[in-house]
Every structure is written in structure tokens, then in C-alpha cells.
Chain A
């Protein structure tokens, strides 16, 4: 009468990930449980649904159900001109909209075989790196909140606000910025842009130390993150994982160094890597990345050249028939655009390689044998944005 309605049977049908070890003698286990985590769950960063197969609190396997935020972005591209589609990409990874826009613009520029002028590239680098810091700050706040530390969230949001203010002053939007255009930037920097960015760099440096002070040597934080969600470098490569998650596993791979775009070769910076590939290393890598981003911003803003900000691009963009793939190092990993042109004003096909989506594949490998609480930590450390996973 008041037993918990056991929806395990119903869920089992959805649970296709059944390469789980089954004991030779199947015994009835009162602890074995299949439960739904999400889509309405505070720790799934939006509408991710994870079906967990549990033994008590131990995770035997997971299955991600995605698509709750699917808006058909790739399909929309086929019915829009190249210019019209530009704002749509901002809605994928909405916490790193500038990076998305940069990737798209670079892809179409490659298709058109034009290159943005130097000043435009510097502006792009500054804004993209600012956006990387904002994205990492949002990740840090929510990740810490998932693990139970509520205070870092407010600190990071306080500081992220300064970045959003710069965005707002530059292009009028805070989140989905649509900052860049195909061929360069539409807007010249506003008066005092350089000074504000420099001030921001000075302002945020001690703040990053402040975040670290709260977490890096915190005993509970160490216990919650060390040796949790470990993934080896080889596994990470095999699963196509990119970005900080890959680098934390010890693979030194950063597209800004490997295939420089937007004149990243002009800047000096390091690729922080981890050793163990656990949640703590990913945390350290991202914290180090924020500092490296500040370095890049400083160099860029000091060396920003004068000149035009828009290359010569035809009013109606009609690339020649062909296909290209252009990828950039977004805050979450490799963000790639595969664009096929049939010679018309609209792309024949746009395929996005979203880093969150690919990284999410590693979830199952990372949480097997861990506890439910670790699933939360690992989802947080993967830094997924469901808008990008589902598109």
C-alpha cells in the first residue's frame, strides 16, 4: 500500500548500458536500485538525466539521457544565411558565447578564405579569454556548490559580473553576446576599454587566490575531489575528451598551441596539466588556466595594434562549394564547426562538435565504482552546459 513504487523495471528498459558485470550466481539483492537523477535535479546543471544503476550507494553504471534542451540548432543553420546563423551559436554554450561565436566566424572565414585584421584578432583574443575566465568562474562556483561549499559561488559571481560589464559595454549584451562578425568585429572598442581590461586583470588576480584559499587546501575539499572520477590520459584520448579534462589527465594538448588561430602564436602562455586525472587535478588545471588567460589578456591589451577591425567580406556571403572543419579551444574543450557549402547563401550542413557533449561520454568511465555523491562531483568537474550538449 505504501511501498515505494518500484520503477526499476520501467527504467531497466531504458537502460541499454548493460555491459555491467553480472555475478555468476544471480542473487536477489535488496540494495540494487535503478534510479533517475534528473532531469529536474539540482546537481545536473540543467536538464541532464542520468539513469544510475546503484548497489546501495555504489554506482554500477550510468546512462545519460539527453535532448531535453534540444532546439535543433544545426538544422536551423540550413535555413539561415551564414550571417543570420551567427547569433544562434551563442545559444549553445551560453556561458561561453564569445568562444562559440569566434569558432563559427573562424570557420566561415576559412571557408571564404579571408582573414580578420590584426586588431580584430586582438579584440577577439581579449574577449575570448575574458569569456574563458567567466566560464571557469561559473564552473568553479557551481562545482563547489555541488560539493557543498556554497560560498565560492557568490565570490565567483561577484567577479564574473565585472567581465559581463565589459561585454555589455562592448557589444550591449552580457550573456549571448554575438560579439564577432564574419571577417572581424563589428564594433570598435569603446573608450577606456584597455584601461578597464587592465583594471580587471589587476582586480581578479587576488580574487583567484581568494577562491584557492577557500578550497585548494581545504581538507574536506581534498577528500571529496582527490581520486574521484579518475580517467587516464589514454582513456581520455580514446573517448575524445578534450579541454581541461584531458589536460588534467596529463595530456598536453591545447589547440591554441597545437593549431594556433586568431594569432595565439603571438602570446606567451603555458598549458597547465595535471597528473592523476582526478577531480582535484581538473580543479587545479582550471584554476591555472584562469591565471594563464589573465597573462594572455595582459599581453594582448598591451600590444593591441591600431587598424581596421573588419576584413573585406562580401555583403552577401556565398562561399564556393566545399567543406571545412575549424576548431578552437573553447573553455570546455575542442569546439569544432564542420561546415559544408553548396555554393548558396545558406550552409548545406553545419555540424558542431561540442566539447561538453563529447566530454559527457567520459562520465560513465569516471563514476563506475564510485558513490552517488561522486556522480555529482564528476558532473560538476566535467563542466558541461546542457545547451551545448543538446544543441
Chain B
């Protein structure tokens, strides 16, 4: 067992490919824990960022700057009475949040955090992601139906119609990105002298294609890649039922939509699923259009010196976060009441700075000593860092949308989906094919 654990460390492939179940299991656990932590952090960040958009402070009481608020929330939700409406369909009511959660988390098996930092590299990776994430709608529909109440039912019907509609445009946009993996382009777009190869549906393969072609698909066949990306970026907001497409849970119309009757743990599972799905679709966008785990300008600014400079980013980011926390600590009121909070925030700053220093040490160690293990760790660190950073940008966009835009009406939502997004995405798909072959 130890042997199989150690033997994998030297390989360059995903655990799935290496057929190493133990490491696959470890990866699954790491991803599960990581995503859960990310959801909790996202919860706090959303409340904070949204609050600052709206000239208020957001959570401030539980822990310094409300840092422990998500934990308090989680404890509250766990301890809350679990209400199941008496007229509901108990079994379906019980299983619906689990389906949503399962669909949201299963997707992560193929998310490539790096060339070998994924549970498995399926050769139908993107198809698998789209398929499994489309199962999430089943959870919502069942929740709405099982609640046996008008508003959840309408919310569920809306949600299913919305998600099925936007999946079409989303799929078209994805296909145009997949086309790009095989078309290297010629003529005005002939950025590289590679000949047209075979395409791939594998998530890792898609990023590697971008690496080979030396261009993010966002900028490929400009502006076709950009348009497809924008279509996807809009459709993914609709897919995750977030503002301004949050009709299934529009509180001013349907109280809370499909999860009106849910409370406590089950409700928190829906929230967990929603945020996990947000991260999942963002990771699709990052993989397909933003170069996945690649750092910016891997070819333009190539060479080991640039590699070293970019590998300092993770450490510096954490040091920067630590510095913000230190600033917060220094600005804490100097009153006795705030002593515990000040100490807590200071400790948090120290933890952040410690992580930052560790990452810096790894980066510097990899550069100077050249030991393979450290170089490998540095590689993994860089890949994961850039991937997560790109996802974080999307997460911020999600919050920004929510703070800025009113909600669409249902018929308008459908109109946008079918009459605007679908034709444009179809056009982009056709143009991508034409440009790839002819131009």
C-alpha cells in the first residue's frame, strides 16, 4: 500500500490514468475538503463584498471582521430543527438536496487543477461535466415538487425550463471551444505553424491544446473566442440560478422558490450545492477559454527567470492577504473588549503570512536547489494557484452581478436564451469552423 502510494509520486499523470485508486481517493478527499472550505470562504466573502457594495459592513460580530460567521452559520443550520412539511413526499423531499449536491460535487472529478492535479482525465471530460452538471436540475425539480406547495412548484418549473434552455447555448459555446482544439487556423489567424490535428474532449487535453497553440482560446480567432466565452459566461450564471437570472428563487415573487419549504441542514445542502456548482462552471470557463492552470504569458515571457518571477506570485498573494489582516489588526479599537478579536485577527495574519512564506520558500527552493521533489511541489503550487485565481475572478463577478443588476422576468429570460444567445452561439460555432478551415 505504501509502495503504491509512493510509486505514484514520481509519475506525471493523474491518479485515474495511473490507475492508482488510493491516490484517487486522496485527491477526491482533498477536492471535497477544498471545495467545502472554498464554499464557506465564498459565503463570507460574498456577504462582505456585497455589504461593501451596499455601504454597509456585513458580518462584524462573530470573530474579527466576521471571519467566524460562516462557522456560526453552519452550526446554527446544523442544530436547527429539520422541518419536513406533513403533506410533502418525504422520500423525494429528503433525497432532492442530496441529488443537487452529488451532481455539483461529482463534476470535480475531471476538473484539471494541473496537468496531473485532477482525479481523472476522462477522454469525454467536458461532456461528462456538462452532463453531470445538468443533473442538478433534477434535484431542484424534485425539491419543488416534493414540497407540495405552490411557490416551490412554480420555482421548480421555472428552474427546469431555464436550465434546459441555457444548456443549449452553453453547449454550443463549449463546442466552438472544442473545435478550436483541433483547428490551428491559417491565414490571418495563423498564429502557429502547427497543422490541424485531432481535437479532444478531455479537460487536460483542452488546456494542453492551448499550451501548444500558444494562445488562450479567449483570444483565438478574435473575436470568435471572445464571443463564445461571453455566451458561456452568461449561460453559466443562468445555469447556477444566480442574479440576474435567479428567478427560481426570486424572493420578491416566489418567496424562496424551490427551497421555500426547506430549512436547517437540508437548506444548507442546497446552498452548498449552489456554490459548488458556481465554482464548477467557473472552472469549465477557465479550462476552456482562460488557459486552465497556465500562468499568464507562458510563451511571451518565457524562460526560467520569468518562471521564477511568476512562481513567486502564490507566496506574495498570501503575504499580501496577511498584510491586509495585519492592517486590520492595527486598526482594531484599542479597547479591552476587542482584545480577543485583535489577538484572533493577529493570529490569522500570522497564519496567512506563514503560508505565504512557505510558498515563497518552495518557489525559491525549486529555483535554486533544483531537487526534483521541490520542483514538483512548486509546479503543483503554481498550477493550482493560477487555476484558483482565475476561478476567484469569476466568483467576484458573480457577486458583482448580484449587487448591480435587477432580475429578469421569466419571458425575457427565455427570450434572451432562445432568441439571442442560441443564434449567436450557433453563428459563432459555424464561423469558428469556417475560419478554422478556410481563413
Interface residues of A (CB under 8 A from B): 1-5, 33, 35, 41-43, 57, 144-151, 153-155, 158, 214-215, 218, 220-221, 223-224, 371-374, 376
Contact = CB atoms under 8 A, between A and B. Distances in A.
Interface stretch (B2-10, B145-153, B311-319, B364-372): B145-153
B406 A35 contact: no
B253 A376 contact: yes
Contacts of B307: none
A376 B244 CA distance: 16
B252 A4 contact: no
Nearest to A158: B55
A149 B250 contact: no
Contacts of A371: 409-411
A149 B406 contact: yes
A218 B406 contact: yes
Given A35-B150, A148-B405, 13 more contacts: A5-B87, A5-B148, A42-B255, A146-B252, A147-B407, A149-B404, A150-B54, A154-B54, A215-B406, A223-B412, A224-B406, A224-B412, A371-B409
Contacts of A150: 54, 402-403
B403 A224 contact: no
Interface residues of B, number: 33
A2 B152 CA distance: 14
Given A42-B255, A150-B402, A376-B253, A2 B89 contact: yes
A155 B55 contact: yes
A373 B414 CA distance: 14
B381 to A, nearest CB: 37
Contact of B244 (A41, A144, A220): A220
B54 A376 contact: no
A144 B410 contact: no
Contacts of B153: 4
Interface string B395-439: 000000011111111111000000000000000000000000000
A2 B148 contact: yes
Nearest to B151: A35
Interface string B64-87: 000000000000000000000001
30 contacts: A2-B88, A2-B148, A4-B149, A4-B150, A5-B87, A33-B150, A42-B251, A57-B410, A144-B406, A145-B252, A147-B252, A148-B243, A148-B246, A148-B252, A148-B405, A149-B405, A150-B403, A153-B54, A154-B54, A154-B55, A214-B404, A215-B406, A218-B405, A220-B405, A220-B406, A224-B412, A371-B409, A373-B253, A373-B410, A374-B409
Give the residue among B146, B244, B247 with the most A Cβ atoms within 10 A.
B244
A162 to B, nearest CB: 13
Interface string B48-63: 0000011110000000
Given A4-B148, A373-B250, A224 B87 contact: no
Nearest to A220: B406
Nearest to A58: B411
Interface in B233-258: 243-244, 246-247, 250-253, 255
B210 to A, nearest CB: 32
A372 B150 CA distance: 13
B54 to A, nearest CB: 4
Contact of A43 (B150, B252, B402, B408): B252
Contacts of B255: 41-42
Nearest to A149: B406
A43 B412 CA distance: 20
Give the residue among B87, B88, B149, B406 with the most A Cβ atoms within 10 A.
B406
B403 A151 contact: yes
Contacts of A41: 255
Contacts of A158: 55
Contacts of B246: 148
A335 B175 CA distance: 61
A1 B88 CA distance: 9
A154 B56 contact: yes
A215 B411 CA distance: 20
B59 to A, nearest CB: 15
Contacts of A224: 406-409, 412
B238 to A, nearest CB: 13
Given A154-B56, A223-B409, A376-B252, A148 B244 contact: yes
